[in-house]
A and B are shown apart, each in its own frame.
Chain A
């Protein structure tokens, strides 16, 4: 069964520094997608970045990049130049292409950016 593991319940980072949020996954499928979502205290789920299992290059979206290491089954999110507005809950999620495309989420990492 597919599973997402986020081992960091909470993290601190100084404003303007970079931070890496860890995510490992487990799947027997060859074709899958990995996602990161941001959930501020207001509750909405904001899509950040997507990485397909066959994508050869790591995905990047502005200050967000995904460090995809397929052999290690890890998909860490790197946020560069942290801003106070980055303080939120971050969820890693996976979708197996052979399924209905539903997302399986990890338990999340709460990031707090210090001024």
Chain B
């Protein structure tokens, strides 16, 4: 069965650089969620989209922005990267009125 696809899987950036993380949800899933998991931490909700509209916003820095496109894939744009942005970034998707959220494999971002 198709799963959530995230790219890239690993990313190394310098401080103050920008990064773009991509997420391709499971086909026919209309909702996308982004989570950030710091080292030894639990995942923290960043932002979500439903039918290409932002549906909720969590503890996402102003330096980050995201959107969902017409084909339902989503991109998380991160600017002025800081050392503390080093984390595992998960995208999850769910189908309309679905209970489960299925997570992608994550993008491991390292900021040097």
Residues of A within 8 A of B (CB): 33, 35, 37, 43-47, 50, 52, 91, 95, 99-108
B41 to chain A, nearest CB (A): 8
- Whether the Cβ atoms of B31 and A101 lie closer than 8 Å is yes
For the complex of A and B, list the 4 residue pairs with the smallest distance between their C-beta atoms, beginning with the closest. Answer: A100-B56, A45-B103, A105-B42, A102-B45
A10 to chain B, nearest CB (A): 12
Residue from B45, B48, B58, B106 within 8 A of A45 (CB atoms): B106
Which chain A residues lie closer than 8 Å to B90 at the CB level? Answer: 45
Q: Give the CA-CA distance A30 to B66 in the complex, in Å.
A: 31
Q: At the interface, is chain B mostly helix, strand, loop or mixed? A: strand
The answer to whether A37 and B103 touch (CB under 8 A), given A100-B56, A103-B33, is yes
The answer to whether A101 and B106 touch (CB under 8 A), given A45-B90, A91-B42, is no
B80 close to A (CB within 8 Å): no
Which chain B residues lie closer than 8 Å to A99 at the CB level? Answer: 56
Residue from B43, B48, B103 within 8 A of A101 (CB atoms): B48
B94 close to A (CB within 8 Å): yes
- Whether the Cβ atoms of A47 and B106 lie closer than 8 Å is no
Q: Which of B58-112 contact A (CB under 8 A)?
A: 58, 88, 90, 92, 94, 99-106, 108
Residue from A43, A46, A100 within 8 A of B108 (CB atoms): A43
Q: Give the CA-CA distance A100 to B100 in the complex, in Å.
A: 13
- Whether the Cβ atoms of A103 and B31 lie closer than 8 Å is no
Chain A residue at minimum C-beta to C-beta distance from B97: A101
Residue from B43, B106, B108 within 8 A of A91 (CB atoms): B43
In the assembled complex, 19 residue pairs joining A and B whose CB atoms fall closer than 8 Å, in A order, are: A35-B101, A37-B103, A43-B106, A43-B108, A44-B105, A44-B106, A45-B43, A46-B103, A47-B100, A47-B101, A47-B102, A95-B101, A100-B50, A100-B55, A101-B33, A101-B101, A102-B45, A102-B48, A102-B58
